[in-house]
C-alpha cells in the first residue's frame, strides 16, 4: 500500500505539478466514530513516508471529527514538534468545519 501511494504521489509530483511553481497539498482525514485504537495501523507509516519523501509538499492536514483519544494523542505528540509543523495540522470538530470551507477556494 505504501509503495503504491509513494509511486502515485511521485508520479503526480513529477508529471502534474508545474515546474518552477510552488504547489502544496491539502490532506483531509475524517476520523468520525474512530477512536485512537481504531485508526488503521498503516496510517502512521503513510504519514511518515509522506513526511520523508515529499518534504515541503504539505500545506495543511485537516483531521475531521477527532475522538478524545486522537485529540489527546495529538496534544502529547505536538509538545515535541516545532511550531511550523504544528501549524500544518488542524483538528476540526463538527462545530468548526467552516474553517475547512474557507481553505478550499471556490473559484
pLDDT tens, residue by residue, 27-40 = 888 877 776 666 66
As a whole number of angstroms, the longest Cα–Cα distance in the chain is: 42
pTM exceeds 0.85 for this model = no
Contacts of 64 (CB under 8 A, 6+ apart): 28, 29, 30, 31, 32, 92, 97, 100
pLDDT of residue 24: 81
Query: Percent of the chain at pLDDT above 90?
Result: 0
The closest of 77, 106, 98 to 89, measured between CA atoms, is 77
The tens digit of pLDDT for each residue in 75-97 reads: 888 888 888 878 888 888 888 88
- What pLDDT band is residue 41 in, cutting at 50, 70 and 90? low
Alpha carbon separation from 98 to 56, 80, 94 (Å, rounded): 26, 28, 9
- Class of residue 66 by CB neighbours under 10 A (exposed 0-12, middle 13-18, buried 19+): buried
Amino acid at each position: 500500500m505504501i509503495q503504491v501511494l509513494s509511486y502515485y504521489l511521485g508520479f503526480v509530483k513529477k508529471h502534474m505539478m508545474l515546474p518552477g511553481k510552488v504547489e502544496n497539498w491539502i490532506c483531509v482525514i475524517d476520523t468520525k466514530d474512530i477512536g485512537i485504537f481504531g485508526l488503521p495501523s498503516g496510517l502512521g507509516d503513510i504519514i511518515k513516508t509522506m513526511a520523508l519523501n515529499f518534504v515541503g509538499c504539505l500545506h495543511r492536514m485537516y483531521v475531521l471529527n477527532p475522538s478524545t483519544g486522537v485529540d489527546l494523542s495529538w496534544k502529547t505528540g505536538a509538545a515535541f514538534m516545532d511550531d511550523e509543523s504544528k501549524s500544518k495540522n488542524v483538528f476540526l470538530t463538527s462545530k468548526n468545519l467552516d474553517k475547512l470551507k474557507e481553505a478550499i477556494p471556490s473559484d
